[in-house]
Amino acid sequence: MDPLLLVYSLSFCLLWPVKSDVLIQGPQNSQPVNDIEIYSIDISSLVTSRFAHNVITSKAVNHANVSKEAIFDVDLPKTAFITNFTMTIDGESYPGVIKEKEVARKQYETAVSRGQSAGIVRASSGRKTEKFTVSVNVAAKSIVTFELVYEELLKRQLGKYEMFLKVQPKTLVKHFQIEVDIYEPQGISFLDAQAPFITNDLLPTMKKTFSGKKGNVSFKPLLDQQRSCSNCDTTVLDGDFTVTYDINRETPGNIQIVNGYFVHFFAPKLDFVPKNVIYVIDRSSSMSGQKMEQTRQALLKILDDTAEHDYFNFILFDTRIEVWRNQLVKATPENLSAARRYVSGIQEQGATNINDPLLKAVELLNKAHNLKEVPERSVSLIILLTDGQANTGESNPSRIQENAKLAIQGKYTLYSLGFGYGVDYAFLEKLALENSGIARRIYEDSDAVLQLQGFYNEIANPTLVDIEMKYLENATSNVTQNNFKQYFDGSEIVVAGQITDNNLNYFTADVKAEGADKSLNYSENVQLQKEDSVSREQAYIFGDFIERLWAYLTIQQLLEKRVYAGPQEKENLKAQALELSLKFKFVTPLTSMVVTKPEEEEKEQTIVADKFVDGQSTDFAIPVPVRSYAAAPVIPAQHISSFVPRNWVDSDPHFVISVPRKNDALCFNIQEQPGVILNLIEDQELGIAVNGELIGDKTTENNLISLKTYFGRLGVVNKAMNLEIEVTTETITILKGNNRTTFSWSDKASINSDGLNLEIDEDKQLKFSFGEGATFVIILHKVWKGHSVRRDFLGFYTLDDDKFSKGVHGLLGQFFHGIDYEIYNIHATSDPNKPDATMKVKDKLITVTRGTQRDYMNGSTDDNKVPCWFVHFNGEGLIDGSHTDYIVEDIFKIA
Ligand SMILES: *[C@@H]1O[C@H](CO)[C@@H](O)[C@H](O)[C@H]1NC(C)=O
Ligand SMILES: *[C@@H]1O[C@H](CO)[C@@H](O)[C@H](O)[C@H]1NC(C)=O
Ligand SMILES: *[C@@H]1O[C@H](CO)[C@@H](O)[C@H](O)[C@H]1NC(C)=O
Ligand SMILES: *[C@@H]1O[C@H](CO)[C@@H](O)[C@H](O)[C@H]1NC(C)=O
Ligand SMILES: *[C@@H]1O[C@H](CO)[C@@H](O)[C@H](O)[C@H]1NC(C)=O
Ligand SMILES: *[C@@H]1O[C@H](CO)[C@@H](O)[C@H](O)[C@H]1NC(C)=O
Ligand SMILES: *[C@@H]1O[C@H](CO)[C@@H](O)[C@H](O)[C@H]1NC(C)=O
Ligand SMILES: *[C@@H]1O[C@H](CO)[C@@H](O)[C@H](O)[C@H]1NC(C)=O
Ligand SMILES: *[C@@H]1O[C@H](CO)[C@@H](O)[C@H](O)[C@H]1NC(C)=O
């Protein structure tokens, strides 16, 4: 029986709604779904000097007289670090412990190898959020409390700080409240809070106040006020709760000091510096259709927003490059009109050459500066937009990075925009970071124009160039980045560090920078006070925030530097970032949080929660593809028309596990080297094992090595019958005791003796069974003899699996007695036929993708394609342990 599962989702922070389709799973005619009642949700945010400390507390009670499972499911900002998680069940606390990633991984593996249940939580759930999910069994009549804490430094963009909480309780909640308290020493200049679900009826339940240094937002709808209509049991609370504010800017900067740490905020209001922009735009064939149209529209909007003092040019690239004008052009109305005509006419064609247009852009900027075609006081930017990876010209990514860095020599800033999922995001990120820019992902969606325009707006108005922030040399240490190439209006520079001199009376900061028409000097002085009222006032929120802010910023910057550092320095940066992550208890890409939670029958489960990293596969991270979440699609009704329950492995090796009770199937691939032998079935009780050896493709003339592998040899052993069968693509050999008989695949033979039933269907398939046991079928795939790459290979199919013992294992065997799973949150990807979803299997949550696999048992027509949920990364999460646990040294190996 499926356990009655109640999932409630409380999503915190994002701009884009994530819809869960499947919320309440379970057998029909079962007990009422509100056996588990969520009776309290409390979201509390304390923000001190831009540093936000968020606590989400949720309480549920199981009214049923049997244990039920509840899932705590939160979406938090990707920029945040989780710092604590605690589960309390009937007064007993189960805390999350933050550990080095490798250590957490070992703990996970140990739990798996002991046969305990274990899981890894790592999922991106939207553009700006990642998901944290824990499920727990709640005993009859028991209460569970979940408490999640995360922290983040709010970034000022376009003149405001924004914090968004996504609220999605999915059910009516007796005590629901959001409380945001802000303390800003410079004084708050405006504060707002919005949510689409706040109707006139709900308006009185939201309070927004600010005065002086304090701001306060609270939202406490009563149970009846949460109803979507007066008689409904559904909740109206579903959407983004966004808090925005800004602070007074009487001085350009502000320094705060608490407990030996300082933070310096710097956001002056100044005249704009002209900018020289070269738009390097991908018009290769892959941009065809909507992406190209959106790019044209975005460029037209950007031209509308370009200030007359700016200079610009376009370089379009495909296999070759096309430069619009041979020099940068001033943004006069006439030149802008000409540019609009040019942009409207951009047509896609050819392959992707990234190297040459970048070098050309640098050449144009060098020339413009040398010939003084552009103002001396100006900012020069290169904006690269691509939807793919370099595949013509210089296509080695490291070479392109090297070339760009050498050419730019730190003089210009390079931004890279990766449009869609065809890009190598790690490449774009390194390319940008090495040249003082940033990379941004543009999600392939209807709002791509707005995303591109939004990015442009952030960098539209530079006001300072070459900013140097200086602090007392001998009185400070561990200062975060303090040199910046430019400052854009509406943003903010933040520098933090330690004060090493305890006897300091004054703390000073000097800022030097180049403005629109002159060099600028700022000097700031703060008198240091002893155990003073100021720090006590700040402790109003929480005392050590500057220290944590410093640690947060330092870790972010170390991780960023790691992207482009050399191998030696990489290790060094990693070690420093890891030390800080552990010391300050942050779940960063280098650490994981391990939660050991109670299971039924006194068992335990180990859950490892990892941070999601876009485009970067950290040491053992499984990079889960981020996808844009369009309106949640309904999975196409692709049931298996004439469902034949069998499990098999065929082609390069694709494993297919049929799940009759769901009239569906699961599938995964195993990627290993030729020569590796994998255990498919091992039944120690019956003494039967099946192993398969991988072969690769032929090596082609130009030595192209294909990654594809197939089964070229299968070994079957039956200990009780003292029998071994070896099947290659040429022969079938039966060894019974000392009696060896070899058949060729071209034979038509049949054996029926001593419990072995075997039948060779010439050059097609081999069918065999042992006594009353299960039947196996091996399919011979013969390729055309002259095929340059492919070799003959084998497919292996099992019928009537229930004839194996309960303990049967192996890559296929472990599924012979059924596998249970639930699918949630089906969402669209760039391929409409391949939506992603979250699968809950073996108490883990993994990302799966809808796909199809071919069943060759009745020939290879398209009718025999079987839809299945594809599990990525060698079936990790679905199979017990890791795929390497199934590697054996001998084709007849049996334990
Ligand atoms: C549990 O509850 C169900 C229905 O609410 C009832 O039929 C059953 O007898 C109860 N069992 C116990 C042990 O109380
Ligand atoms: C985590 O939260 C729990 C529950 O509030 C608390 O007891 C514990 O001290 C916290 N741990 C840390 C490291 O702050
Ligand atoms: C914020 O507002 C809420 C609700 O009005 C109130 O309970 C709380 O005390 C306020 N906090 C501050 C710091 O004013
Ligand atoms: C741009 O337009 C202005 C006048 O509208 C013109 O003088 C100038 O030569 C044009 N070209 C460049 C390269 O600035
Ligand atoms: C800092 O200390 C070094 C070595 O003691 C000294 O040479 C230098 O002048 C000091 N700098 C300042 C700004 O005091
Ligand atoms: C801070 O800097 C000092 C040297 O000035 C160094 O010894 C210490 O380890 C640093 N602390 C951290 C946390 O990086
Ligand atoms: C800024 O300070 C530097 C030395 O710190 C000095 O040489 C320069 O003249 C100053 N500039 C202005 C505009 O005050
Ligand atoms: C050897 O095996 C073959 C087929 O399995 C069988 O036909 C033959 O009789 C066996 N010979 C002996 C000596 O057992
Ligand atoms: C395949 O062929 C077998 C025998 O020819 C038949 O019984 C079976 O229904 C066919 N279809 C499938 C999907 O296996």
Residue 20 pLDDT exceeds 50: no
Nearest CA to ligand 3 atom 14: 216
Shared domain for 335 and 415, answered yes or no, is: yes
pLDDT of residue 315: 98
Q: How far is the CA of 478 from the centre of ligand 6 (A)?
A: 6
Cα 655 from Cα 673, distance rounded (Å): 17
Q: Is residue 452 part of a domain?
A: yes
Tens-place pLDDT, residues 147-180: 999 999 999 999 999 998 888 888 899 999 999 9
Q: CB of 401 within 8 A of CB of 430?
A: yes
CB-ligand 2 contact for 147 (6 Å cutoff): yes
Please name the helix (run of DSSP H) or strand (run of DSSP E) that holds residue 573, with its range, or none.
helix 567-583
Cα 213 from Cα 247, distance rounded (Å): 9
Q: How far is the CA of 690 from the centre of ligand 8 (A)?
A: 22
Cα 26 from Cα 32, distance rounded (Å): 11
Nearest CA to ligand 6 atom 8: 478
Residue 10 pLDDT exceeds 60: no
Which atom of ligand 6 lies nearest, measured to the CA of 579? Answer: 13
Asked whether the CA dihedral 439, 306, 628, 490 is positive or negative, the reply is positive
Across the range 282-292, mean pLDDT stands at 92
CA 430-432-433 angle, to 5 degrees, is 65
pLDDT of residue 860: 58
Residue bearing the bigger pLDDT, 456 or 444: 456
Q: How far is the CA of 791 from the centre of ligand 9 (A)?
A: 27
Residue 540 pLDDT exceeds 70: no
CB-ligand 2 contact for 53 (6 Å cutoff): no
Shared domain for 445 and 507, answered yes or no, is: no
Q: Where are the beta strands (DSSP E) in 697-745?
A: 709-718, 723-728, 731-736, 739-744
Last residue of a domain, one of 460, 479, 508: 460
> Ligand 7 pocket by C-beta < 6 Å: which residues?
519, 521
Q: Give the Cβ contact number of residue 200 at 10 Å.
A: 6
- Taking the CA atoms of residue 15, residue 19, residue 20 and residue 23 in that order, the dihedral angle to the nearest 10 degrees is 110
Nearest CA to ligand 4 atom 4: 332
> Ligand 6 pocket by C-beta < 6 Å: which residues?
477-478, 498
> 371-385, 598-612, 624-638: which has the minimum mean pLDDT?
624-638
**Burial (CB count within 10 angstroms: exposed 0-12, middle 13-18, buried 19+), residue 264:** buried
The CA R_g of the chain, rounded to the nearest whole Å, is 31
CB-ligand 8 contact for 742 (6 Å cutoff): no
Residue 683: strand pairing partners:
688
Which atom of ligand 9 lies nearest, measured to the CA of 642? Answer: 13
Last residue of a domain, one of 551, 578, 609: 609
Q: Is residue 788 part of a domain?
A: yes
Q: CB of 813 within 8 A of CB of 680?
A: yes
CB-ligand 8 contact for 735 (6 Å cutoff): no
Asked whether the CA dihedral 812, 816, 817, 818 is positive or negative, the reply is positive
Q: CB of 188 within 8 A of CB of 212?
A: yes
Per-residue pLDDT band for 333 (boundaries 50, 70, 90) equals very high
Q: Where are the beta strands (DSSP E) in 611-763?
A: 647-650, 654-659, 664-669, 677-683, 688-696, 709-718, 723-728, 731-736, 739-744, 749-753, 756-761
Tens-place pLDDT, residues 491-530: 999 999 999 988 888 899 999 999 999 999 999 888 876 5
Residue 311: alpha-carbon gap to chain centroid? 37
Residue in 566, 564, 573, 277 with CA at minimum distance from that of residue 435: 564
What angle in degrees, to the nearest 10, is found between the helix axes of 545-564 and 425-433? 110
Please name the helix (run of DSSP H) or strand (run of DSSP E) that holds residue 549, with its range, or none.
helix 545-564
Cα 361 from Cα 358, distance rounded (Å): 5
Residue in 159, 168, 84 with CA at minimum distance from that of residue 126: 168
Q: Is residue 769 part of a domain?
A: yes
Across the range 437-455, mean pLDDT stands at 93
CB-ligand 5 contact for 475 (6 Å cutoff): no
Across the range 414-423, mean pLDDT stands at 90
pLDDT of residue 535: 55
Which atom of ligand 5 lies nearest, measured to the CA of 473? Answer: 13
Q: How far is the CA of 640 from the centre of ligand 8 (A)?
A: 42
Residue 536 pLDDT exceeds 70: no
Across the range 98-124, mean pLDDT stands at 78
Q: Is residue 214 part of a domain?
A: yes
Residue 615 pLDDT exceeds 90: no
Percent of the chain, pLDDT > 90? Answer: 58
Cα 303 from Cα 557, distance rounded (Å): 33
Q: How far is the CA of 208 from the centre of ligand 3 (A)?
A: 9
Across the range 724-732, mean pLDDT stands at 95
Backbone dihedral angles phi then psi of residue 337, each to the nearest 5 degrees: -65, -45
Nearest CA to ligand 5 atom 1: 474
Across the range 651-657, mean pLDDT stands at 90
The one-letter amino acid code at 610 reads D
Collapsed DSSP state (helix, strand, coil) of residue 580: helix
Alpha helix segments (H runs only) across 228-344: 290-304, 333-344
Shared domain for 176 and 196, answered yes or no, is: yes
CB-ligand 8 contact for 751 (6 Å cutoff): yes
Residue bearing the bigger pLDDT, 138 or 293: 293
Nearest CA to ligand 5 atom 8: 474
Residue bearing the bigger pLDDT, 672 or 692: 692
Shared domain for 196 and 310, answered yes or no, is: no
Q: Is residue 308 part of a domain?
A: yes
Residue 749 pLDDT exceeds 70: yes
Tens-place pLDDT, residues 777-834: 999 988 777 666 678 899 999 988 888 998 999 999 999 988 988 887 777 776 777 7
Alpha helix segments (H runs only) across 194-257: none
Residue in 63, 2, 69 with CA at minimum distance from that of residue 30: 2
Q: What is the DSSP letter of 876?
A: B
Shared domain for 113 and 215, answered yes or no, is: yes
Residue 746 pLDDT exceeds 80: yes
CB-ligand 8 contact for 734 (6 Å cutoff): yes
CB-ligand 8 contact for 739 (6 Å cutoff): yes
The DSSP bridge pattern shows strands 206-211 and 214-219 to be antiparallel
Q: How far is the CA of 140 from the centre of ligand 1 (A)?
A: 11
Q: How far is the CA of 865 from the centre of ligand 9 (A)?
A: 14
Q: How far is the CA of 498 from the centre of ligand 6 (A)?
A: 9
Structure tokens at 726: 């070896």
CB-ligand 2 contact for 170 (6 Å cutoff): no
Domain that holds residue 544: 253-270+469-563
Could you tell me the pTM of the whole model?
A: 0.70
Which atom of ligand 7 lies nearest, measured to the CA of 512? Answer: 1
Ligand 8 mutation pick, 722, 723, 726, 739, max ligand atoms within 8 A of CB: 739
Q: CB of 62 within 8 A of CB of 139?
A: yes
Across the range 251-273, mean pLDDT stands at 92
**CATH code for position 427:** 3.40.50.410
pLDDT of residue 397: 93
Across the range 713-733, mean pLDDT stands at 94
Domain count, the chain: 4
Ligand 3 mutation pick, 48, 181, 184, max ligand atoms within 8 A of CB: 181
Per-residue pLDDT band for 14 (boundaries 50, 70, 90) equals very low
Structure tokens at 599: 């299971």
pLDDT of residue 422: 78
Cα 674 from Cα 435, distance rounded (Å): 41
Cα 610 from Cα 165, distance rounded (Å): 21
Residue 890: alpha-carbon gap to chain centroid? 38
CB-ligand 3 contact for 684 (6 Å cutoff): no
Q: Is residue 543 part of a domain?
A: yes
Nearest CA to ligand 4 atom 3: 332
Ligand 7 mutation pick, 270, 471, 518, 519, max ligand atoms within 8 A of CB: 519
Cα 368 from Cα 834, distance rounded (Å): 48
pLDDT of residue 502: 80
Last residue of a domain, one of 412, 433, 460: 460
Which atom of ligand 4 lies nearest, measured to the CA of 330? Answer: 14
Residue 781: strand pairing partners:
793
Residue 112 pLDDT exceeds 80: no
Q: How far is the CA of 811 from the centre of ligand 9 (A)?
A: 25
Q: How far is the CA of 46 from the centre of ligand 3 (A)?
A: 12
Could you give the C-alpha distances from 322 to 21, 251, 281, 315, 356, in angstroms and in order?
47, 47, 10, 6, 10
Ligand 5 mutation pick, 470, 472, 474, max ligand atoms within 8 A of CB: 474
Q: Is residue 428 part of a domain?
A: yes
Shared domain for 208 and 60, answered yes or no, is: yes
C-alpha neighbours within 13 Å on the C-beta side of residue 292: 18
Residue 593: strand pairing partners:
98, 609
**CATH code for position 242:** 2.60.40
CA 518-523-529 angle, to 5 degrees, is 165
Per-residue pLDDT band for 124 (boundaries 50, 70, 90) equals low
Across the range 213-231, mean pLDDT stands at 93
Residue 259: left if φ>0, alpha if ψ -120 to 50, beta else—which one?
Answer: left
Q: How far is the CA of 810 from the centre of ligand 9 (A)?
A: 26
Q: How far is the CA of 338 from the centre of ligand 1 (A)?
A: 78
Across the range 227-241, mean pLDDT stands at 89
Residue 350: alpha-carbon gap to chain centroid? 31
Could you give the C-alpha distances from 50 to 78, 106, 156, 467, 527, in angstroms and in order?
17, 37, 9, 22, 22
Cα 869 from Cα 814, distance rounded (Å): 17
Nearest CA to ligand 6 atom 14: 478
Residue 28 pLDDT exceeds 50: no
Shared domain for 434 and 547, answered yes or no, is: no
Q: What is the DSSP letter of 814?
A: G
Residue in 813, 814, 812, 804 with CA at minimum distance from that of residue 685: 804
Tens-place pLDDT, residues 833-865: 778 888 888 877 788 888 888 888 876 555 677
Residue in 433, 832, 865, 494 with CA at minimum distance from that of residue 633: 832
Which atom of ligand 7 lies nearest, measured to the CA of 520? Answer: 13
Shared domain for 492 and 591, answered yes or no, is: no
| Strand ranges of the sheet holding 253-258, from the earlier edge strand across to the other edge | 253-258, 261-266, 493-499, 476-477
Shared domain for 671 and 806, answered yes or no, is: yes
Residue 577 pLDDT exceeds 50: yes
Shared domain for 723 and 851, answered yes or no, is: yes
Could you give the C-alpha distances from 535 to 256, 539, 757, in angstroms and in order?
9, 6, 85
Shared domain for 137 and 79, answered yes or no, is: yes
Shared domain for 18 and 143, answered yes or no, is: yes
Which atom of ligand 3 lies nearest, measured to the CA of 207? Answer: 5
> 65-69, 248-252, 805-809, 822-826: which has the minimum mean pLDDT?
822-826
Q: Is residue 621 part of a domain?
A: no
Q: Which of 66-80, 82-96, 569-583 has the highest mean pLDDT?
A: 569-583
Which atom of ligand 5 lies nearest, measured to the CA of 474? Answer: 1
pLDDT of residue 707: 65
Residue 135 pLDDT exceeds 80: no
